[in-house]
Every structure is written in structure tokens, then in C-alpha cells.
Amino acid sequence: MATTLQTLDRGLRALEIVAEHAEGVTIAELAEQLAVHRAIAYRIVTTLEGHGLITRTREGPVRLGAGISLLASRFEPQLRGVAQPLLQRLARATRATAFISVAQGDECVVIMEAEPEEGLLRVGYRVGSRHPLTRGAAGIAILAARPPQPDDDEAVRQARTEGFSLTRGQLQRGAVGVASAIASPQVRPGVEACVGVVAMDDLDTDTAIREVMDHAGQLADLIGQ
């Protein structure tokens, strides 16, 4: 019947709660947020700590541990580190917020973000935020990189021929997004990523399209070696 495991689920929720508290949480606070007894929270913390995913200061709060970095270093190792400077350059060139998203099931998740240094208003694109692949420039760019399907949307077909996708107001009123897939089929089939920018209506789309596609090519080269 139940296809998920309660204990594992609680442990992962605990990990997320710890992640949300940069200043750390006590076991008692953790138990309250999980709505479980403190003894349970204590055992969860002990187990997570055994795997290095969290760490504890003496008698004090719990925070994320170095095991997270180990996992992150295994997840698209080529991308991390190399991509951040590129994203910064893209953000500067387009005066817009640059991001990298990957497909996760039938959703699109932001994994990295860089904001322009200048400008009065900034558009933030929160790392970890997700939305359906069928909505927003990022998802459409990823769908366009897949083999053609008979039920593809018009926007997807257009993005497939042009090499980029441009959407207005699909995720937020007044927001415009441009994205292009990062092509690396030979390296890691199954990993689907795209790079793009998002901004208010005043985005210079010609520049954005050119820069986004240029950076998508650079990223593909960097991770394709």
C-alpha cells in the first residue's frame, strides 16, 4: 500500500529543516517542527550525523555537515565551480538574473543562480524552486532538447528549431525569460540542463538571446570534455 518509508521520509524532512536554519536548530525545535517526540528526533539526528550530513556543536544546535559537499561534488562535478563565474558574466552582460535549471521528473528545478550587480530592482530566482516543464522558458528549452514527440507544444517545436525559448509572463506577470539547453548527450545521458536569464519586461531580448545561446555553448564545451 504505502510505497514510501515513514522513517526515511522523516529523516529527509529533518535534513531539509536543518538546511533552512543556517544558524542551526536544537533537537527540541526539530522535534516540534517534525511533530514527533524528542526521542525520535534525537535518533534521526544521530543517524544523519553518522553519515556526515549534519554536524553538532557541543551540546548545541544542529547544522548541515560536510557530507553535503561530498554529495554535491558527485552531482554534476563539472558544473559546480566552473559554472558560477560563467553565470556571473551572463548576468552582467544581460543585466538580468542568470540561472541553470535541470529536469527532475516532469518538473524543472533551479540549481544555480547569479544576479547582476547593478540596477535598482533585482529579480531573484530562488535555488530549489520548481515548476512544470511545460511552463516557463527553462522547461520549454529542456523539452525542446528531447527527441520530438507528437504531442509537443507549439512553443516547444519553435524552440527546437531556433535553439532557444522565450516566454513572457508564464511564471510571473511582467517577467520575461530566455533559456537554451546545455547539450551534452555524449557525456551523461539522462542529465538534462539548461541555462537562461529572467528579468522584468525591460529585457533587451536580442542581447539576451545571443548571450544565453553563447553561454549555453560554452557550458556544453566545459562539461563535454
Q: Which of 15, 18, 40, 176 binds DNA (CB under 7 A)?
A: 40
Q: Which is nearer to DNA, 51 or 174 (CB)?
A: 51
Binding of its own copies by 149 (CB under 8 A): no
Angle at 136 between CA 80 and CA 121, to 5 degrees: 75
Q: How far is the CB of 74 from its own copies (least distance, A)?
A: 4
Binding of its own copies by 222 (CB under 8 A): no
Instruction: Select the span of 25-33, 71-79, 137-145, 164-172 touching its own copies (CB under 8 A).
Output: 71-79
**Number of residues that this document lists for the chain:** 225
Residue where the block lists cell 531556433: 162
* C-beta of residue 120 within 8 angstroms of C-beta of residue 95: no
Q: Which is nearer to DNA, 6 or 161 (CB)?
A: 6
For helices 137-145 and 154-162, angle between their N-to-C axes, nearest 10 degrees: 70
Q: Which is nearer to its own copies, 75 or 174 (CB)?
A: 75
Cβ neighbours of residue 166 closer than 8 Å, sequence gap 6 or more: 137, 176, 177, 178, 205, 209
Binding of its own copies by 75 (CB under 8 A): yes
Q: Which residues here bind DNA, judged by CB under 7 A?
A: 1-3, 5-10, 26-29, 36-40, 42-43, 45, 59
